[in-house]
Amino acid sequence: MEKISVNSISKSYGNVEALKEISFNVDEGELFGLIGPDGAGKTTLMRIITTLLLPDSGNAKVCGYDVANEYKKVRTLLGYMPGRFSLYQDLSVEENLNFFAGVFGTTVQENYDLIKNIYYKLEPFKKRRAGKLSGGMKQKLALSCALVHKPEVLVLDEPTTGVDAVSRKEFWDLLKELKMQGITIIVSTAYMDEASLCDRIALIQNGKILGVNTPTGIINAFPYKLFSIECEKPTHALENIRSLSICKNAYLFGNSLHFVSNNEENSPEIIAKTLEESGVKVDSVNEVSPEIEDCFIERMQRQ
Amino acid sequence: MKVASEVSGNNVIEVKDLVKRFGDFIADDKLTFTVGKGQIFGLLGANGAGKTTAIRMLCGLLKPTAGYIKVAGYDGFTQSDKIKENIGYMSQKFSLYEDLTVWENIRFFGGIYGLWGKQLRERSEELLQNLGMDQHRDTPIADLPLGWKQRLAFSVAQIHKPAVIFLDEPTGGVDPIARKHFWELISKAAYSGTTVVVTTHYMDEAEYCNQIVIMVDGKIVANNTPLELKKEYQAKTMNDVFLRLAQSASRTE
């Protein structure tokens, strides 16, 4: 069953088209990722889904309720964690949690099962003001507050931005646990490497969806052969490599280069030979499977 | 690829047994490392690991408690003003003035770093040419795409040709194409001899560095190339290496 359905949504701010005819569905119990850079339209889309913003055209439904006409109902079914830390900084951990439970007409005790895995790490600091917590702790408190009324759908806007790698991993582990409990989750991120942690993803750029699929599906749909090249002075070699007729695209990828081949016949041997002939000192060439970042670049350039 | 420590005699950063204490709290405990000229050096650590304190000492903003520190040839205890003149700094929340134009921002930052007259004009033109932003010199920053702002911020942080440039989570949030452009710019700066120090929470940025130091609870627990670290910890990515080392941390922010 679809928990979220988005149909042809468009939204402009003045001359800026933030969203252009966006459509996708999120199924019950899915962990759905909205992957795209800053300014892609992720936050606008989430604000529409959470009934905080009206689209110019198109519609969206949460659990079958329209986000515009039935917004009051939708709000009771949603938990929302905005990108900016939006809890009361001068209230304590405990006070924030009680406040959000109260707003939704429930108590912390009633739904404690749902948040206990998250909250137990905060418990020792329950008297501390929210403003005085570390980044990872703030994030856990915000998640607890978004969950305290036992929502069916959880909407998380860039929860891991600016959070260290250890806390990020813990956070994604928590999302997996929540998913096991049947909660449908839509989460946005600008970091391509988080895509593989989702069941399905939508790649979004300049207000348009570049593709919706499972991470593996997106990777399998990459239409070209991709090679990883290790060579001397990769940045200098790039200019040479891009001018070769067998090269569709080439860019830095960590300490190596990624080489997108423009034909099926290219092999590591052919590429190594062609590069050597053009004066690039090659250490190794290997055919590799693309990562989400490669797929994103390819789809951006298709537009 | 050479690790900095192999290029001895050509070190731009030298740190030995560097300690910073705040009261009873030892933020940085006997840090020892060197960074060679033209290296891309990544300093990684979870929140509370002591990274920020280390960077503040390297930038000449904080006086160490004990040890030895030299940046761009200047002593971190006695010549912190000299250090400040010879470094550049860019954070993810880069500090360009949104309502000034590209050209006005360049002139402003040039002025701060003590450039004026003919030298400032020439350096500004060179910078605009290199960025390919010549036609946009009169565009307000607010109207530029994020990727452009980032490249401009990186360039103005180097307008005085510093020996070292510090980058704090440099590519967060930009689209992958802009990101690749930006790393090309960083690599070019490194090839031309500028030492680049990167601090980041995002381990895929660490893959671009040629030397990595990982800090846990105020101490250095690893110092090597990303390739060697991945081999040593039998990990596929720097993220795996980092999690292996940093999950043992007992300190948080």
pLDDT at residue A29 greater than cutoff 80: yes
Q: How many angstroms from the chain centroid is the CA of residue A296? A: 13
Domains of chain A and any CATH numbers = 2-219 (3.40.50.300), 222-302 (3.30.70.100)
| Shortest alpha-carbon distance between residue B81 and chain A (Å) | 30
The nearest alpha carbon in chain A to B205 belongs to A254
pLDDT, position B252: 63
The nearest alpha carbon in chain A to B250 belongs to A166
CATH fold, domain B37-52+84-246, is Rossmann fold (3.40.50)
pLDDT, position A224: 96
Distances (CA, A) of B211 to A19, A262, B97: 41, 34, 33
The nearest alpha carbon in chain A to B200 belongs to A164
* pLDDT tens for each residue of B42-64: 999 988 899 999 999 999 999 99
**B46 chain-A contacts, CB cut-off 8 A:** 164-167
Q: Indicate which of A125, A138, A160, A166 best probes the interface with B, i.e. most B CBs within 10 Å of its own CB.
A: A166
pLDDT, position B1: 43
The nearest alpha carbon in chain A to B185 belongs to A235
The nearest alpha carbon in chain B to A42 belongs to B173
Find residue B17's DSSP bridge partners: none
pLDDT, position B48: 84
Judged by a CB distance cut-off of 8 A, whether residue B191 touches chain A is yes
pLDDT at residue A58 greater than cutoff 50: yes
The nearest alpha carbon in chain A to B202 belongs to A165
Share of chain B above pLDDT 90, in %: 75
- DSSP label at residue B160: T
Cβ-defined contact of A37 to B178 (cutoff 8 Å): yes
The nearest alpha carbon in chain B to A203 belongs to B175
Instruction: Select the residue of A164, A169, A254 nearest B208 (Cβ to Cβ).
Output: A254
**B173 chain-A contacts, CB cut-off 8 A:** 37-38, 161, 190
Mean pLDDT (whole number) for B130-147: 91
Cβ-defined contact of A162 to B184 (cutoff 8 Å): no
User: Under a CB-based contact definition with an 8 Å cutoff, are residues A194 and B203 in contact?
Assistant: no
Instruction: Select the residue of B175, B184, B239 nearest A235 (Cβ to Cβ).
Output: B184
| pLDDT band of B5, cuts 50, 70, 90 | very low
- Highest mean pLDDT range out of A117-126, A135-144, A267-276, B243-252? A267-276
Mean pLDDT (whole number) for A54-79: 97
* pLDDT tens for each residue of B225-234: 999 999 999 9
Mean pLDDT (whole number) for B52-78: 96
Mean pLDDT, all residues of chain A: 94
Cβ-defined contact of B204 to A37 (cutoff 8 Å): no
Could you report the predicted ipTM of this complex, rounded to two decimals?
0.86
The side-by-side arrangement of strands in the sheet containing A200-205 is A78-81, A153-156, A184-189, A31-35, A200-205, A208-213
| pLDDT band of B6, cuts 50, 70, 90 | very low
* pLDDT tens for each residue of A197-209: 999 999 999 999 9
Cβ within 8 Å of A, B 54-83: none
pLDDT at residue A85 greater than cutoff 90: no
Distance from C-alpha of A64 to C-alpha of A1, rounded to nearest angstrom: 10
Mean pLDDT (whole number) for B137-160: 92
Mean pLDDT (whole number) for B31-52: 94
Cβ-defined contact of B46 to A167 (cutoff 8 Å): yes
Phi, psi of B25 (to 5 degrees): -85, 125
pLDDT, position A289: 96
pLDDT at residue B8 greater than cutoff 70: no
Of A67-81, A95-109, A158-172, B10-24, the range with the lowest mean pLDDT is A158-172
Mean pLDDT, all residues of chain B: 91
Judged by a CB distance cut-off of 8 A, whether residue B178 touches chain A is yes
Distance from C-alpha of B166 to C-alpha of B58, rounded to nearest angstrom: 9
Share of chain A above pLDDT 90, in %: 83
- DSSP label at residue B79: -
pLDDT, position A108: 94
Instruction: Select the residue of B175, B191, B247 nearest A300 (Cβ to Cβ).
Output: B175
Cβ-defined contact of B187 to A167 (cutoff 8 Å): no
Q: Indicate which of A164, A169, A218 best probes the interface with B, i.e. most B CBs within 10 Å of its own CB.
A: A164
Helix (H, G, I), strand (E, B) or coil at A263: coil
Closest Cα partner for A202 from A20, A24, A30, A11?
A24
| pLDDT band of B9, cuts 50, 70, 90 | low
Q: Indicate which of B2, B43, B47 best probes the interface with A, i.e. most A CBs within 10 Å of its own CB.
A: B47
| pLDDT band of A243, cuts 50, 70, 90 | very high
Cβ-defined contact of B184 to A238 (cutoff 8 Å): yes
Distance from C-alpha of A245 to C-alpha of A235, rounded to nearest angstrom: 19
Question: What would the two tokens of residue A92 be?
Answer: 């304590």
Judged by a CB distance cut-off of 8 A, whether residue B46 touches chain A is yes
| pLDDT band of B140, cuts 50, 70, 90 | very high
- Residue B111 has, within 13 A of its CA and on its CB side, a CA count of 6
pLDDT, position A303: 72
| pLDDT band of B253, cuts 50, 70, 90 | low
Of A41-50, A157-166, A182-191, the range with the lowest mean pLDDT is A157-166
Mean pLDDT (whole number) for B141-148: 89
| pLDDT band of A233, cuts 50, 70, 90 | confident
Instruction: Select the residue of B187, B203, B246 nearest A235 (Cβ to Cβ).
Output: B187
Q: How many angstroms from the chain centroid is the CA of residue A70? A: 27
pLDDT, position B7: 43
Mean pLDDT (whole number) for A21-31: 97
Distances (CA, A) of A69 to A75, A181, B147: 12, 29, 38
**A36 chain-B contacts, CB cut-off 8 A:** 175
Mean pLDDT (whole number) for A39-66: 97
If one compares A83 and A93, the residue with the highest pLDDT of the two is: A93
Give the number of other Cβ atoms within 10 Å of residue B66's Cβ: 11
pLDDT, position B191: 92
Q: Indicate which of A122, A252, A288 best probes the interface with B, i.e. most B CBs within 10 Å of its own CB.
A: A252
